[in-house]
Amino acid sequence: MEPMHLIVGLGNPGAEYAKTRHNAGFLLVERLAAKWRADWAGERKFSARVARAVAGGRKVVLCEPQTFMNLSGESVAAVVQFYRLPLEQMMVVVDDADLPLGEIRLRPGGGSGGHHGLDSVSQHLGSRAYARLRIGIGRKQAAREITGHVLGKFSAGEQEWLEQILARAADQTECWLNAGLQKAMSQFNGVVNPKNEQK
């Protein structure tokens, strides 16, 4: 059996935040759990919901911190320390208002881009050297105050497109697990066109 991998989706707990743009990370790990037939359970020692799976012969832990976005690092650090996970075996999935809806971008590390969830994770881990998959949610033009946008739900018109985006992001995540970061970046980073992705 291969070493364990950790995939963390960032978001806010609670029914009022479910399916909001800011919870794109939750939406992806929930999709992966369903695909891999993994059941979610609350883990108080991590302040998180956790699902354990085997994907492509690899043990995977899926994690949804329940600390609210800005304190996500507390939960992530607890999981990493418990499993003694090397950071190269972890991916964090987040929404990104600076990427247009439809674009996904996997990177090996870097800054937070102002994302408070990533800020918290990097602070608690003492490192920014972990993979992060950004799912574009766009922002309204010239909108400096974006809280209402990111905490809003996807429109009915966006929902079908979102399903395609999440499907592509799930494929990218599986590629990361099976073939590594560089292959996953080169093969899947980019824009998912609505309705008909094939050209």
| CATH code, 19 | 3.40.50.1470
Average pLDDT over residues 121-146: 84
100 pLDDT above the threshold of 80: yes
Average pLDDT over residues 98-126: 94
pLDDT tens digits for range 42-92: 999 999 999 999 998 899 999 999 999 999 999 999 999 999 999 999 999
In a domain, 16, yes or no: yes
Backbone angles phi, psi at 124, to 5 degrees: -75, -25
Tokens of 144: 């400096």
In a domain, 20, yes or no: yes
In a domain, 52, yes or no: yes
Tokens of 86: 């090397």
Closest CA to 93 of 105, 102, 84: 105
In a domain, 137, yes or no: yes
Distance CA 174, CA 114 (A): 27
pLDDT tens digits for range 149-168: 677 888 888 888 999 999 99
Q: How does strand 90-96 pair with strand 131-136?
A: parallel
**pLDDT reported for residue 151:** 75
61 contacts 50 by C-beta, under 8 angstroms: yes
Which ranges in 43-155 belong to alpha helices (H)?
A: 72-83, 116-125, 147-150
191 pLDDT above the threshold of 90: yes
- pLDDT classification of 1: cutoffs 50, 70, 90: very low
Burial of 32 (0-12, 13-18, 19+ CB in 10 A): buried
Average pLDDT score, the chain: 91
**pLDDT reported for residue 154:** 87
In a domain, 197, yes or no: no
Q: How does strand 103-107 pair with strand 190-191?
A: antiparallel
**pLDDT reported for residue 139:** 74
User: Known catalytic residue: 5?
Assistant: no
**pLDDT reported for residue 185:** 98
103 pLDDT above the threshold of 80: yes
Distance CA 91, CA 173 (A): 9
**pLDDT reported for residue 146:** 57
In a domain, 95, yes or no: yes
82 contacts 172 by C-beta, under 8 angstroms: no
147 pLDDT above the threshold of 70: no
In a domain, 58, yes or no: yes
Eight-state DSSP code of residue 39: P
Spot the catalytic one: 5, 22, 115, 124: 22
In a domain, 195, yes or no: no
pTM of the model: 0.92
Domain count of the fold of the chain: 1
Instruction: Find the domain containing 126 and state its range.
Output: 2-190
- pLDDT classification of 148: cutoffs 50, 70, 90: low
Residue 66 to residues 36, 110, 121, 181, Cα–Cα distance (Å): 22, 24, 13, 27
